[in-house]
Amino acid sequence: MERTNLRIHDINRVLGPVPHDDVPTDTVEGLLSDLTALGVASCSAVASWQLFGDPSGRAGSLEGGAEPLAAGPHPRVRLTPIVVPTPAGTGWPADPSVVLQSGARLVRACPVRHRWSLLSRTASRWWDACAEHGIALALDLTEVGFAAVAGLAASRPGLNIVALNPGYRELRRCAELLDEAPSILVETGTILTTGGVEWLAGAFGAERLVFGTGGPLLDEAGPTFLLRSLDLPENDVELIAWGNAARLLEGQAQ
Amino acid sequence: MILDAHGHLGTWGDFFIPHADPAWLIATLDRVGISAIGVSHLLGVGHDARTGNRLALEASEQFAGRIGVWLVGDPHDREAVARLSDDVDHTGVWGVKLHPDTHQVQLTDERYEPLLAFAAERGLPVLTHTHTGSVWSDPALAAEVSKRHAGMPILLGHSGLVENGLTRTAAIMADHPDLIAEICGSQLTRRWLTRLVRLVGADRVVYGSDACFFDPRPALGRLLAAELTDPERDSVAGGTLARLLGHRLTVKEMHA
């Protein structure tokens, strides 16, 4: 049974060209076309230049790319800024207030890729501000590791964390993470072992799972089909597909 | 008709698999319209091919026409050919499964040769794990084996596994007509699946999911969303494999 009319928000997309492949999502139009082909209503996306280039946009690195703190390039595409919360002018943006003023409800951080510490004094100040203002933080588990996410969640219980890209072999660690802190949600796109999404939903509740794929770096079509054919109650599937993301984004998902 | 060329039963040591039993697998195949799946038991892919093959054959009997069996050939088993010979005529046997990486024997090693010769002699297709760059299972090694056993279909499990190796896998296949690309794996996207079909032709690509490592649904979703013509999609979904399996394929009408 495939739920063809399910309303879906993909919380983990990349917009723009990538260094190692020719992708159809290198433009806003291409991303929209890709979403439409898969029947996905909307997405949250990071700008590829922030992921693969200098996330600060200095010295022309933003040239041609989407401005991550501006309003989304299309009502179906919300940009997720990648922040670099480091001191002495090395980070971006200069202060968390800039993010707050932009209206962003979800930020991404790549502390390993961008070489900074998730629990530094400066970063901690950022996470306090995010927690206070209801801004969620997305982290890629293959980049930062499960322990770092658990540690951050333990130190900042009010901070909503979206744990991206756990991988199909990590149900045990996902269970540990979800058991660790109620503020953590896990992305489903790579939970691809047999019945893994249903198992996690049964053990921890569908409200702890959020649909995202990591496309085009990771496959979008398979996880989307899996989402539509989950052996779960309708309400649970709707939470994973849309409701939990909408809650994080405060109803701003299209 | 959708045929899953690459499946497993059982559990695996390094991660938690919620559903390792054939009943769950069949129920899920029914849910998405997959007619049959060829499995090897993970015990066999791991440390005990003898027990693994027995369990796979039992499952095949329990779900006749829905579960086919790839009998695992263990290159460390001195009696492997005799055991395969005992099992090969069971209804539901699809062919021979090799996993050079877990058994840590290079596919071209002489310890595999009796198993390959047996498969060739009995007209059995071989499904082998492949991983681009692996000293045990790089697709170029399968090409070497294919040269030795012309006419024996060799399914390249995962097509070399990594996306950036797929063009090389396709180039290797161009010179070796008995090599078939099997498409399960954690790194394949529908974009690359489309490219692979364009490069080698739909008649040389077969759908596989790697269930129960993976849920069978995502790989099917990837195939359904790939930018293929209907005839191409039909070939990848089951047509190519049905041609290769011939009389060995006995698909029961779907329960769903």
Q: For residue range A216-226, what is the model confidence (pLDDT) as tens digits?
A: 999 999 999 99
Residues of A in contact with B214 (CB under 8 A): 168, 192-194
Q: Per DSSP, what are the bridge partners of residue A186?
A: A163, A209
The interface predicted TM-score (ipTM) is 0.95
B40-46 average pLDDT score? 96
Q: Coil, strand or helix: which one is A196?
A: helix
Contact list in A for residue B14 (CB cut-off 8 A) is 169
Looking at per-residue pLDDT, the higher value among A63 and B185 belongs to: B185
Segment A41-64 shows an average pLDDT of: 91
Give me the helix-helix angle, B22-32 and B216-225, nearest 10°: 20
Chain B neighbours among A 221-240 (CB < 8 Å)? 221-226, 228-229, 231
For residue B236, which residues of chain A lie inside 8 Å, CB to CB? none
A254 confidence band (pLDDT: 50, 70, 90): very low
- pLDDT given for residue A59 in this prediction: 80
- The answer to whether residue A1 sits within a structural domain is no
Tokens of B177: 């007509």
Point out which residues pair with B98 in neighbouring strands: B128
* A37 near B CB under 8 A: yes
C-alpha B78, offset from chain centre: 24
How many domains does chain A divide into? 1
pLDDT of res. B60:
97
Per-residue pLDDT, B256:
39
Question: CB–CB of A221 and B222 under 8 A?
Answer: yes
Task: Give yes or no for residue B88 having a pLDDT over 50.
Answer: yes
Residue at A83 is within a domain: yes
Is residue A239 in a domain? yes
A229–B218 CB contact, under 8 Å: no
Helix (H, G, I), strand (E, B) or coil at A7: coil
Whether A192 sits inside 8 A of B28 (CB atoms) is no
Q: Is the pLDDT of residue B254 over 70?
A: no
Give the pLDDT band (50/70/90) at residue A157.
very high
**Which two structure tokens, joined as six digits, stand for B34?**
């997959």
**Quick check: is A253 in a domain?**
no
| Distance (Å) from the alpha carbon of B130 to chain A's nearest alpha carbon | 19
Q: What is the pLDDT of residues B182-197, one digit of tens each?
A: 999 988 999 999 999 9
Asked if A229 and B213 come within 8 Å (Cβ–Cβ), the reply is: no
Residue A227 has pLDDT above 70, yes or no: yes
DSSP code for A105:
S
**Contact at CB, A224 and B15, closer than 8 angstroms:** no
Residue of chain B nearest A223, judged by CA positions? B218
Q: Nearest CB to B191: which of A24, A38, A199?
A: A24
Question: B12, B187, B189, B228: best mutation site toward chain A, by most A Cβ within 10 Å?
Answer: B189
Residues in CB range of B58: below 8 A, 6 or more apart:
none
**CB spacing of A192 vs B218 below 8 angstroms:** yes
Looking at the DSSP bridge assignments, the partners of residue B179 are: B154
User: Chain B partners of A37 at a C-beta cutoff of 8 Å?
Assistant: 225
- CB-CB contact of B98 with B129 (8 Å): yes
Task: Quote the pLDDT of residue B252.
Answer: 67
pLDDT at B174 (0 to 100): 97
B20 touches chain A (CB under 8 A): yes
| Inside any domain, residue A67 | yes
* Residue A65 pLDDT level (bands cut at 50, 70, 90): confident
Q: Do A193 and B217 touch (CB under 8 A)?
A: no
Question: What pLDDT is attached to residue A66?
Answer: 87
A148, containing H or E segment = helix A146-155
Nearest CA among A22, A78, A8, A39 for reference residue A240: A8
Q: Is there a domain that residue A254 lies in?
A: no
Predicted confidence band of residue A171 (pLDDT cuts 50, 70, 90): very high
Residues 6+ apart with CB under 8 A from B247: none
- For chain A, give the longest Cα–Cα distance: 55
**What are B124-174's pLDDT values in tens digits?**
999 999 999 999 999 999 999 999 999 999 999 999 998 778 999 999 999
In whole angstroms, give the CA distance from residue B71 to residue A211.
Answer: 37
A253: pLDDT strictly greater than 50: no
Query: Whole domain around residue A239: which residue ranges?
Result: 9-248
| DSSP letters spanning chain B | --EEEEEEES-BTTB--S--SHHHHHHHHHHHT--EEEEEEHHHHTT-HHHHHHHHHHHHHHTTTTEEEEEE--TT-TTHHHHHHHHTTSTTEEEEEE-HHHHT--TTSTTTHHHHHHHHHHT--EEEE--TT-TTT-HHHHHHHHHHTTT--EEEEGGGSSGGGHHHHHHHHHT-TTEEEE---SS--HHHHHHHHHHH-GGGEE----BTTS-HHHHHHHHHHSS--HHHHHIIIIIHHHHHHGGG--PPPP--
For chain A, the average pLDDT equals 95
> What is the set of domains in chain B, with CATH numbers?
3-248 (3.20.20.140)
The distance from CA A98 to its chain's CA centroid, rounded to whole angstroms, is 20
A196/B164 Cβ within 8 A? no
Give A-chain residues touching B28 at CB under 8 angstroms: 194-195, 231
Q: What is the CATH number for A231?
A: 3.20.20.140
Query: Could you tell me the two tokens for B256?
Result: 């769903």
Range with the lowest mean pLDDT among A59-68, A112-121, A181-190?
Answer: A59-68
A75-134 tens-digit pLDDT: 999 999 999 999 999 999 999 999 999 999 999 999 999 999 999 999 999 999 999 999
